[in-house]
Structure 1
Amino acid sequence: MVTNLSLDVLAEGIETEDQLKFLLQQGCKCGQGFYFVRPMPAPELEAFVNPPILVPA
């Protein structure tokens, strides 16, 4: 139905590689869940999203 309506799908709660493989086989291209990253405190999240840029000396 989603494909016929030209909508994107975001799968939530992906926890295993098998779940990810199944969703990819079904054409789902976006997802989130513990499989990718666990919840973290705000300071850790900021460092995760904005890693430091290392410039060669």
Structure 2
Amino acid sequence: MSNILPFKKPKASVRHKGNTLCRNGHHKWSIDKAQVFDVKQGKLLNRYRCTRCGATRNRAE
């Protein structure tokens, strides 16, 4: 009688989880709830944070 070996399931490929998008400048911006408004030079600024990589930017509103 021959030995029968079970096949192993292939491992799922490791994805970058959106990191490639952020490196190419395609961030997913959302308003940072911890610091909603920032006053600088007499202008009202909103702070945005990328949900994928954590980068921040300020925008005048």
Q: TM-score, normalised by structure 2?
A: 0.22
| Bigger relative contact order, structure 1 or 2 (CA pairs below 8 A, ≥6 apart) | 1
**Relative to total residues, which structure has the larger strand share, 1 or 2?**
2
Larger radius of gyration: 2
**Relative to total residues, which structure has the larger helix share, 1 or 2?**
1
Q: TM-score, normalised by structure 1?
A: 0.22
